Structure 1
Amino acid sequence: SLGSGDEVFEAAKEAIDSWQMFNHSMASLHPVGIDTSLQTCVAVLFRGYGLWILNPARILYRLSESSLRDGRVRQFGFAYGTLPGHIAKGEECFSVEIDTITNEVQFRITVISRPGHLLSWIGSLIMTREQKRFRRLAGRAMKSYVDLKLGVEPG
């Protein structure tokens, strides 16, 4: 959880739009500071197991705040689709959501993919482990951004 309430949701939306989920040691975004508008192309440089892998992608769609899930959860975010040269083939959606009943704010990564490169076929177990590691680091980066934005002491 990123916290609860509208202030947390607003800070989390800002974090999504500024790619904060990539603000950690495992990944870096190129070009830095790019926006999240439709059709924007981006490359993510991933580091793991002594390898550096550049993964190109294009933003396919955005979730506006009016996007509802289960009739009670407002969502905000975007999804990108992989481009040739990406280690996987598929789509990743990065979103934040607020439950309109509990006011709980969550960060979510939804991935639909399959190996798209010989390395990922060979190392599918490693790739799965690295995806889990990325999720943890991305969640921490989002929480840190929201807390800093709202003046919450780390802890």
Structure 2
Amino acid sequence: MTAATLTYSEVGATLADEMPAGYHHVERRVRVGRGDADFAALAEGVMRWEIQRGAGLTVRAGADRAAVGVDITCGARVGPVRIPVPCRVVAVLDEPDRKGFAYGTLPGHPERGEEAFWAEKAADGEVWFVVRAFSRPGTWWSKLGAPFARLMQKQVTNRYMRAGQRLVA
């Protein structure tokens, strides 16, 4: 992975305590289950791009699993137009009670920033699906359509959350 090809400089910041200033921030979490089996199912789905597929995006990835340096291009449909959203995995979480990854935007993505997805098992056994992101417009047309882009981001994030819930249902 070469940071020079990413379209932003704050690599890994979705996994930090505070995300960088100057970006729109998204932080969502939803309880999806309880116990080791639910945690394992969610974590496996997250690592195998099932959140993106479950959100209705097409997925073209350089590997079956998320790993640092793997490129993934999701296809988002806006009416009859399919917009490619190329990203690169910049970090992987592989902790006993937290598993997932973060990917950052590459040239051609309409936004600049990063998005992270992970499964988390709390001390009480509750299993949570978490999405954190920071972004800002990366093209002239996404700047012009910023309110629409925010609405689309909200809709896709809602679909991510539902996909996470379905992975353990």
Superposition TM-score, scaled by structure 2 size: 0.76
- Give the stretch that moved more between structures: 8-17 or 42-51: 42-51
Alignment partner of 2:68 out of 22, 38, 42? 38
Unaligned runs of 5+ in 1: 67-73, 148-155
Residues 92 and 31 of structure 1: is their aligned pair in 2 closer, same or farther, counting only changes over 3 Å? same
Equivalent AA in structure 1 for residue 110 of structure 2:
I
Alignment partner of 1:136 out of 122, 147, 158? 158
Deviation at 1:32, TM superposition (A): 8.3
Deviation at 1:129, TM superposition (A): 1.0
Count residues with an aligned counterpart: 139
**Structure 1 match to 2:98:** 75
Asked whether the 8 Å contact 2:105–2:111 carries over to 1, the reply is: yes
Q: Which segments of structure 1 move beyond 6 Å, counting only runs of 4 or more?
A: none
Alignment partner of 1:87 out of 86, 94, 110? 110
Residues 37 and 46 of structure 1: is their aligned pair in 2 closer, same or farther, counting only changes over 3 Å? same
Q: Is the partner of 2:167 in helix, strand or coil?
A: helix
Q: Is the partner of 1:14 in helix, strand or coil?
A: helix
Asked whether the 8 Å contact 2:63–2:70 carries over to 1, the reply is: no
Q: Is the partner of 1:23 in helix, strand or coil?
A: helix
Asked whether the 8 Å contact 2:113–2:135 carries over to 1, the reply is: yes
Q: Percent identity?
A: 30
- Give the stretch that moved more between structures: 12-21 or 30-39: 30-39
Residues 62 and 131 of structure 1: is their aligned pair in 2 closer, same or farther, counting only changes over 3 Å? same
Q: Provide the alpha-carbon RMSD of the alignment.
A: 1.7
Asked whether the 8 Å contact 1:80–1:92 carries over to 2, the reply is: yes
Asked whether the 8 Å contact 1:17–1:35 carries over to 2, the reply is: yes
Q: RCO higher in 1 or 2 (8 Å CA, sep ≥ 6)?
A: 2
Unaligned runs of 5+ in 2: 1-30
Distance in 1 separating the partners of 2:112 and 2:91: 17
Deviations 1:19-52 (A, max 9, x none): 1111246411114863211100111111124321
Distance in 2 separating the partners of 1:33 and 1:61: 15
Asked whether the 8 Å contact 1:57–1:83 carries over to 2, the reply is: yes
Alignment of 1:121-132 (within 5 A): 121-132=143-154
Distance in 2 separating the partners of 1:44 and 1:130: 14
**Structure 2 match to 1:117:** 139
Distance in 2 separating the partners of 1:25 and 1:90: 19
Asked whether the 8 Å contact 1:26–1:48 carries over to 2, the reply is: no
Asked whether the 8 Å contact 2:62–2:72 carries over to 1, the reply is: no
